[in-house]
C-alpha cells in the first residue's frame, strides 16, 4: 500500500525517475532542515515502491548535501533534525540503509544533539546511536578518573551536573 505522499514528494520522485537527478537548493541554513526532511520523505516513498536505485541515489544525495552544507559553515554542523529522523524511523524498514545513514552521520559528525530532546526521536534511533557510538569509541588504556570511588559521591556528582548539565 502506497503512503499518502504529498504531490511535491511524488513529483520529486518522478523527476528522479526521468532525469536520474535530485535537485537541491542553494546553501541557506533555513533550507537545510527542509531539504533533509524532503529527502527523507522521498526515501520512504522509494522504499515503499521498492525502488532500490532511487533509495541509493537518495542516500547519495543526503550525504552529498550534508557534505556540501557543512563545508560552507564555520564550525556549525547541520545534522538531520528530529523531523527527518522521525520520518525515516517511523516509515522505513528496521534494517534500512536510510536509518544507518542517519545514525552514522550522528555517530561520526555530531558534536551535540542539537534540537534532539529526550522524546523528540524514536527510541530505536537512540539505541542504534548508542550501539554505534560504543563500537567506535576507543577503550581506555589507563585507569579512569571515575575509578576513584569519591567520583561517585554526592558532592562531586553535583559539581558534575552543574558543569555538564543533566546527564539523563
Cα separations in angstroms, 4 against 42, 91, 134: 12, 12, 37
Largest CA distance in the chain: 65
From CA 94, how far away is CA 124, in angstroms rounded?
9
Q: Which of 95-104, 129-138, 145-154 has the highest mean pLDDT?
A: 95-104
By residue range, what is the domain housing residue 89?
Answer: 7-137
Q: Is 74 part of any domain?
A: yes
Contact status, residue 87 vs residue 41, Cβ threshold 8 Å: yes
**pLDDT of the residue at 138:** 81
97, pLDDT greater than 70 = yes
Return the pLDDT at 100.
Answer: 96
Q: What confidence score (pLDDT) does residue 166 get?
A: 56
Reading the block at residue 135, the C-alpha cell is 563500537
Higher pLDDT, 56 or 147: 56
At 76, the pLDDT band (50, 70, 90 cuts) reads low
In a domain, 159, yes or no: no
**Residue 88 counted as domain residue:** yes
Within-domain flag for 26: yes
What's the structural domain count of the chain? 1
80 within domain boundaries: yes
Residues 109, 112: Cα–Cα separation, whole Å = 9
Mean pLDDT of the chain: 83
Amino acid at each position: 500500500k502506497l503512503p499518502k505522499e504529498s504531490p511535491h514528494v511524488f513529483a520529486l520522485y518522478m523527476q528522479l525517475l526521468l532525469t536520474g537527478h535530485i535537485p537541491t537548493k542553494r546553501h541557506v541554513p533555513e533550507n537545510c532542515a527542509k531539504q533533509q526532511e524532503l529527502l527523507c520523505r522521498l526515501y520512504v516513498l522509494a522504499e515503499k515502491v521498492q525502488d532500490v536505485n532511487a533509495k541509493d541515489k537518495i542516500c547519495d544525495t543526503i550525504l552529498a548535501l550534508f557534505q556540501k552544507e557543512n563545508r560552507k559553515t564555520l564550525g556549525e554542523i547541520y545534522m538531520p533534525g528530529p523531523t527527518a529522523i522521525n520520518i525515516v524511523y517511523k516509515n522505513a524498514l528496521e534494517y534500512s540503509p536510510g536509518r544507518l545513514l542517519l545514525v552514522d552521520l550522528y555517530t561520526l559528525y555530531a558534536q551535540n544533539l542539537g534540537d534532539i530532546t529526550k522524546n523528540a526521536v524514536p527510541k530505536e534511533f537512540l539505541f542504534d546511536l548508542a550501539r554505534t557510538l560504543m563500537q567506535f569509541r576507543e577503550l581506555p588504556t589507563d585507569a579512569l578518573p571515575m575509578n576513584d570511588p569519591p567520583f561517585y559521591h554526592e558532592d562531586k556528582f553535583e559539581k558534575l551536573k552543574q558543569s555538564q548539565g543533566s546527564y539523563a
